[in-house]
Amino acid sequence: MIRKPTLSPSKITTYLACPTKYALTYVDPRGRWYLKSKSYYSFGTTLHAVLQRFHDAGDTGVTTSHEAVAALEESWIDAGYSSQEEMMEAQAEGKAIVADYIEAVQREPVTAKTLFVEKSMRLDMGEFDLIGRIDRVDEREDGTLEIIDYKSGRQAVSESDVADDLAMACYQLMLRAAYPGREVVATIIALRSRSKATASLEDADALTEDLQAIGKEILHRDYENLAPTPKPLCHDCDFLAFCRKNQDFAEAYRPREASDA
């Protein structure tokens, strides 16, 4: 039986930003030789793992800020840091973030219960399945389901940030399908400041149509004959060296120093 292809919000976002980056990340095996570990990814993954344990009712190993700090040390990912000093500074910051977060949560009145953490979701979109993993889903006292997503790199977040976030929109679409008739909202928490914002998906039908259209384009794109084109994100892209092998790209590309002059 042929398995239906899957697309995630991260895959779709990558494609929309740059089809060449999508191809080298998910289609062309040559891309793996250019990928580099990212310290911000390691940092975020570690924090997510600790908070997952804290909010998981079945895990009694992380119930206090002290236990959270210990769990962070145990699960620390050191890939992507440029030096030992940078890594230690990040680890100290991570300890402060998880400790402050947990202490703040424990001071607040309980107004919701956590239904699940790190929940994998799947939604049939016709030609493909939309898939995703949600950090956490809470059920409020009024029955509303609240999707909660942690952002470890942000200092602040606004309602428009949540409304414009493709992943949060996709998660709401998938959760609505899994729990028909339930009110669903999405919240992003900026862990560095503990600020948060909430928004709800306004037009699920329009989003579904857009996802189906872009999904069809992604699945049927001719990646073998795809030529890279310069974009602002090229400067910090792992695949810049690969794309510069293309003569047209190399002639059109302007390094940051030149473009900022």
pLDDT digits (tens, 9 = 90+) for 85-110: 999 999 999 999 999 999 999 999 88
The model's pTM: 0.92
* In the chain, where the domains are located: 1-16+110-222, 17-36+223-260, 37-108
Mark 208-243 as b/e (b = at least 16 C-beta within 10 Å). Answer: beebeeebeebeeeeeeeeebebeeebeebebbebb
Six-digit token pair at 261? 């002059």
Distances (CA, A) of 57 to 53, 80, 217, 236: 8, 32, 41, 40
E strand residue ranges, the chain:
6-7, 112-124, 129-140, 145-151, 184-190, 195-199
pLDDT digits (tens, 9 = 90+) for 219-257: 999 999 999 999 999 999 999 999 999 999 999 999 876
Amino acid of residue 128: F
Separation CA 136–CA 55 (nearest Å): 8
